[in-house]
Amino acid sequence: MYLDVKAITKSYRDNTVLDSLDFSVGKGELVSLLGPSGCGKTTLLRMIAGLVSADSGAIRLAEREVTALPAHKRNVSVVFQNYALFPHLNVRENVGFGLAARGMAKADQKVPVEEALALVRMEHYADRPISALSGGQQQRVAVARALVVAPDLLLLDEPFSALDRKLRETMQVELKALLRSRGITAVFVTHDQEEALAVSDRIAVMNAGRIEQYGGPMELYSKPATSFVLDFVGMSMRMAGMVKAVEGPLLQIATAYGDITAPGNFIAGSKVTVGIRPELVSPGLPDSASDRTNRLTVPLSDVMCLGAKTLIYGTASGDDRLICEEQGASAASLPPIGSPVTFNWAVNDTLVYPAEAVP
């Protein structure tokens, strides 16, 4: 692969931050590292940039072994969350900084700086002081500054998390289009699953210093490899359960709300977590007909209309979450809050994972 991170381990004292981690990115790919705060995303990104050393393992980039190379010899650019622009330099000088640092004469910087500013639609702001720019404009300048040196790899660490939601979405769309059109290889760090789904060709879901699953957005959503991925990417209905019986490829699982059937490979007596994507569940009155085999009836606890979709919640205990999603505002056929409602779904849409050991 274009970027190959092999068996990287990093500890701070007895805290193992990256645990023999493998990660690779193809040329021109836009990949996200997605995971909760503290899972090691920034450490991995900084290690690829050459800003943090690894205890063991190796990194190759663009056919070169870079493990021992300092940051300035890797031809990698980083965009940080806090922009990290130079406040005493104007826009043009900020973007030209990396070229100047590489010894390019001021006169030769003009064309590449203007090209880079045009990429982020900031060409009319070249002479402005940084302090006169909004947050979104500052982050565009930071992207231009990162791209002007034609890096082999662009690294972005939560670049849009300081921006408000609307602007963040605009920036995501712009960045994706820009990187696509230029064929730039990039690794994008985020803790926001919607952002990762929006921008990425592939997503590496990280948890506690390890990659739990690495795949395309659709694959992560429809085939989450672990219950962590099920929870972290998209919404899900989830319940604790116990395998009562095994009948060939099918499991009979007891939950707090009744028995269900699911495909899976477990032995009787196993404690499991059951997950179903909410749009695969449909709500109904307890006596209504359904072609779905799994049916659980619980008191309706809440109905949330979100415009294009409606979320319907059932009363659940412990960490369980009973939820289904309907298109539009089609909650008309629901009983009043507190009355029994039935959640219906297909056996084959049921995901089963080992229950997490309680630490």
Catalog residues that contact ligand ADP under the rule CB under 6 A. Answer: 12, 15, 17, 35, 37-43
Give residues with Cβ within 8 angstroms of 297, minimum separation 6: 257, 258, 286, 340, 341, 342, 343
CB of 24 vs ligand ADP, minimal distance in Å: 19
Cα–Cα distance between 169 and 188 in angstroms, integer? 15
Phi/psi of residue 301, nearest 5 degrees: -110, -30
Tell whether residue 42 is a contact of Mg ion (CB under 5 A): yes
Measured from the CB atom, the residue of 249 and 359 that comes closer to ligand ADP is: 359
Tell whether residue 32 is a contact of Mg ion (CB under 5 A): no
Q: Which does 17 bind (CB under 5 to 8 A by kind): Mg ion, ligand ADP, none?
A: ligand ADP
CB of 158 vs ligand ADP, minimal distance in Å: 8
CB of 145 vs ligand ADP, minimal distance in Å: 22
Where are the strands (E) in the chain, listed by range? 3-12, 15-25, 30-34, 56-61, 64-65, 76-79, 153-157, 186-190, 202-207, 210-215, 237-247, 250-255, 258-263, 271-276, 282-284, 294-305, 309-314, 322-327, 340-345, 351-354
| 8 Å CB contact between 292 and 339 | no
CB of 156 vs ligand ADP, minimal distance in Å: 12
Give residues with Cβ within 8 angstroms of 73, minimum separation 6: 50, 66
Give residues with Cβ within 8 angstroms of 105, minimum separation 6: none
- Nearest alpha-carbon partner for 27 in 146, 201, 163: 201
What is the three-class DSSP state of 30? strand
CB of 51 vs ligand ADP, minimal distance in Å: 11
Q: Which does 265 bind (CB under 5 to 8 A by kind): Mg ion, ligand ADP, none?
A: none
**Listed ranges 39-47, 83-91, 120-128, 258-266: which one lies at the site for Mg ion (CB under 5 A):** 39-47
Measured from the CB atom, the residue of 44 and 178 that comes closer to ligand ADP is: 44
Measured from the CB atom, the residue of 43 and 294 that comes closer to Mg ion is: 43
Measured from the CB atom, the residue of 42 and 213 that comes closer to Mg ion is: 42
Q: Which does 12 bind (CB under 5 to 8 A by kind): ligand ADP, Mg ion, none?
A: ligand ADP
Tell whether residue 190 is a contact of Mg ion (CB under 5 A): no
CB of 120 vs Mg ion, minimal distance in Å: 23
**Listed ranges 34-42, 129-137, 276-284, 287-295: which one lies at the site for Mg ion (CB under 5 A):** 34-42
